[in-house]
Amino acid sequence: MSQNTLRLLLDVDSRFQRDRDQSPAFLHRRDRRFALDCEQQGVSPTPERWLDHMRRLSGPGNEAQTGRKVQQQWQRINSGFAIAGALFGVLTMAGLLFYDGGQRINITVFLAFVVLQLLLALATTAQALMGWQPWRWLAKRLSLHAPESTLAPLQPTLMARAGHTGGVAFALSGLLTLFVLLVIQDLAFGWSTTLDTAAASYHRLVHAIATPWSLLWPAAVPSLELVEATRFFRAAPTSQGVAPEQWGNWWPFVVMLWVTWVMLPRLLLLAFSHWFTAHKARLQLHGHPGMQALLYRMETPTLDTGNQHNDADDLPDVRTQATTGDLCDTPHMICWAGAGEPELPRQLTRRDSQIRKAGGRASLAEDDHVLTTLAKDLAREHSPAVILVTRSWEPPTGELHDFLEQAREHWPAETRVMIVPLANDANQRPKNLLIQPWLRFTERLPEGFASVALLPPPPDSPYQVAGASTL
């Protein structure tokens, strides 16, 4: 289970790393789609399913999974620790039970070693719980630091797991070695200490240690007699009055001592480290910023604001060859669609001006009337011309185009129309930007019929007409 969660974490993290450069909008669409598909199928969109979905879509050949690699790496490390532990177990037990027939195997030494083992096992778990990494140098040497940020918090627990695997192998091989030595050798156990300890006290200690199995295997609990009988002193290597078989009566205690206080704790702590790794990996997975973002993307609807259409490059051709011309002298003037209101600029007002209104609020019949009356007036002139005043900010429309088309039909053929776009302040020159559409408008009319003219500057204005010709 721990393996699966860890693999899931690493694979998901690897996928998130690959997604880093994808656009947020794409990721949202992709993951929301997955969540909606899951909803349709009646299943919950778990990270496992999401990952499977991603793999399935990538197709075969997508086997370079980080999780598997790291898992295999740690399997190798665990195997290494197990082999080393087994070898050490054999050597240690052989060393502890080394008996040349001269001296007894000291139970006190054995007890001390078991305590040391127990402390080591507890320390391994403690470092995992507290996040210490006394083996960091080894991890660095084995290049176990990638991917750094995700695996780093799990390194202590993974190392503890490897340590406990080695510890279990050590305890097992030690136990097997013990059995072998018990069978092939006549081992003589005794106890000895420099301290002034009575046999009764030693018995109490041994009894307390044997409590866990005292009911299960009473024979493996040394009696006071055995304790009293098997004390030996270095200074007196041969003990008088002790039956030789009594030296061997300690073996059930030694076996159970090893099983209960070395092997069992290691097994329990190994199981705990497996659970703890899975637990930590699960926490890591749920707390992963990428996972939070993924859940958000799966839960939140995708919003498309209508930005697919693109016609930014499909702009009208705004080039024009037309330029502004001079305003000629004519009394005929048409104010189109309210232009010149409330009053016309001084440059356009003459005593004999005939001002007519068309477009805008005027009816089409009124427009026709203007065209007809002007046709009569223009017919009497040598070089007929009409000034058409417009608002520069109201671009030319189809209605004006129609009006001028009709005018061309009704008016004498040589009639010239000068379109004068006025600025909001009629005495100011309109912005070039606003004149451009009018120039292009005249180009769409029959050649020579209409042109754009600008007002001459009023006598007291700094505005110079010379600039107009550059348009």
Partner 1 sequence: MTQTPVFAVVGHPNKGKSSVVATLSQNDAIAIALEPGTTRASQRYPLTVDGRQLYTLTDTPGFQRPRRVLQWLEAHSLSASDHPDTVRAFVLQHKGDERYVDECELLSPIIEGAGIIYVVDGSVPYSAEHEAEMTILRWTGRPSLALINSIGDDDYSDVWQAALGQFFQVVRKFDAVRAPFEQHLSLLRTFGQLESDWEQPLEEATQLLAEQRRQRQRLAASIIARALEDLMGYQEKRTLTLDQVASTSEATLADTLRDRWYKRQRRREQSLRIDIEHLYQHQRITRQEAELEWANQHDLFSEDTRQHWAVSKKYLATAGFGAGAMGGAGVDALTFGSSLGTGALVGGLIGAAGSYFYGDRLVLPALNIGPLQNGLQSATFGPVQDSQFGYVILGRAVDHWWHISHRNHAGRDLLALEPADQHWLELLDKTSRREIQRALDRCRKQRPLSQSQRQNLAQAIGQAMAAYDNWRLNRG
> In the bound complex, what is the minimum distance in angstroms from residue 134's beta carbon to partner 1?
14
319 binds partner 1 (CB under 8 A): no
How far is the C-alpha of 314 from the C-alpha of 24, rounded, in Å? 28
60 binds partner 1 (CB under 8 A): no
Sequence-distant (6+) residues with CB within 8 A of 129 are 276
Please, what is the end-to-end C-alpha distance for the chain in angstroms?
A: 80
**Listed ranges 42-50, 225-233, 381-389, 392-400: which one lies at the site for partner 1 (CB under 8 A):** 392-400
Considering the complex, state which of residue 29 and residue 53 has its C-beta at the smaller distance from partner 1: 29
How far is the C-alpha of 121 from the C-alpha of 386, rounded, in Å? 108
> In the bound complex, what is the minimum distance in angstroms from residue 292's beta carbon to partner 1?
9
Cα angle at 259 between 255 and 265, to 5 degrees?
155
364 binds partner 1 (CB under 8 A): yes
Q: Which of 201, 397, 464, 469 binds partner 1 (CB under 8 A)?
A: 397
303 binds partner 1 (CB under 8 A): yes
396 binds partner 1 (CB under 8 A): yes
309 binds partner 1 (CB under 8 A): yes
> In the bound complex, what is the minimum distance in angstroms from residue 103's beta carbon to partner 1?
45
Q: Which of 63, 245, 304, 409 binds partner 1 (CB under 8 A)?
A: 304
**Listed ranges 236-244, 245-253, 408-416, 434-442: which one lies at the site for partner 1 (CB under 8 A):** 434-442
**Listed ranges 21-29, 91-99, 161-169, 187-195: which one lies at the site for partner 1 (CB under 8 A):** 21-29
> In the bound complex, what is the minimum distance in angstroms from residue 310's beta carbon to partner 1?
4
Considering the complex, state which of residue 309 and residue 351 has its C-beta at the smaller distance from partner 1: 309
Considering the complex, state which of residue 67 and residue 265 has its C-beta at the smaller distance from partner 1: 67
* Size, binding site for partner 1 by CB under 8 A: 56
Decide: 15 and 27 in contact? Cβ < 8 Å: no
The candidate with the shortest Cα–Cα distance to 287, out of 95, 149, 443, 409, is 149
Strand-pairing partners, residue 387, are 333, 418
The contact mask relative to partner 1 for 143-162 (x = CB under 8 A, - = no) is -----xxx-xx---------
126 binds partner 1 (CB under 8 A): no
Which amino acid is located at 341 in the chain?
Answer: E
| Rounded alpha-carbon distances, angstroms, from residue 398 to 10, 337, 364, 393, 446 | 67, 13, 13, 16, 15
Q: Which of 359, 384, 430, 457 binds partner 1 (CB under 8 A)?
A: 359
> In the bound complex, what is the minimum distance in angstroms from residue 372's beta carbon to partner 1?
18
DSSP codes of every residue in 5-47: HHHHHHHHHHHHHHHTTS-HHHHHHHHHHHHHHHHHHT----H
| Rounded alpha-carbon distances, angstroms, from residue 173 to 114, 178, 339 | 15, 8, 107
> In the bound complex, what is the minimum distance in angstroms from residue 441's beta carbon to partner 1?
8
322 binds partner 1 (CB under 8 A): no
CA 468 to chain CA mean position, Å: 59
How far is the C-alpha of 190 from the C-alpha of 103, rounded, in Å? 9
Considering the complex, state which of residue 285 and residue 378 has its C-beta at the smaller distance from partner 1: 285
Q: Which of 59, 241, 301, 459 binds partner 1 (CB under 8 A)?
A: 301
Q: Is 465 exposed, middle or buried (0-12, 13-18, 19+ CB in 10 A)?
A: middle
321 binds partner 1 (CB under 8 A): no
Considering the complex, state which of residue 177 and residue 390 has its C-beta at the smaller distance from partner 1: 390
Decide: 374 and 332 in contact? Cβ < 8 Å: yes
How far is the C-alpha of 189 from the C-alpha of 242, rounded, in Å? 12
Strand-pairing partners, residue 333, are 355, 387
**Listed ranges 241-249, 273-281, 343-351, 356-364: which one lies at the site for partner 1 (CB under 8 A):** 356-364
> In the bound complex, what is the minimum distance in angstroms from residue 265's beta carbon to partner 1?
25
Cα angle at 414 between 409 and 357, to 5 degrees?
60
432 binds partner 1 (CB under 8 A): no
How far is the C-alpha of 155 from the C-alpha of 35, rounded, in Å? 33
460 binds partner 1 (CB under 8 A): no
398 binds partner 1 (CB under 8 A): yes
Site for partner 1 in 29-58 (CB under 8 A): 32, 36
Strand-pairing partners, residue 385, are 416
Q: Which of 143, 238, 305, 470 binds partner 1 (CB under 8 A)?
A: 305
Peptide bond into 459 cis (omega under 30): no
Q: Which of 306, 448, 459, 462 binds partner 1 (CB under 8 A)?
A: 306
Decide: 426 and 347 in contact? Cβ < 8 Å: no
393 binds partner 1 (CB under 8 A): yes
Decide: 428 and 455 in contact? Cβ < 8 Å: no
Q: Is 339 exposed, middle or buried (0-12, 13-18, 19+ CB in 10 A)?
A: buried
Which amino acid is located at 328 in the chain?
Answer: C
List contacts with partner 1 (CB under 8 A): 20, 23-25, 32, 36, 148-150, 152-153, 284, 287-289, 296, 300-316, 318, 337-338, 359-361, 363-364, 391, 393-399, 402, 424, 433-434, 436-437, 440
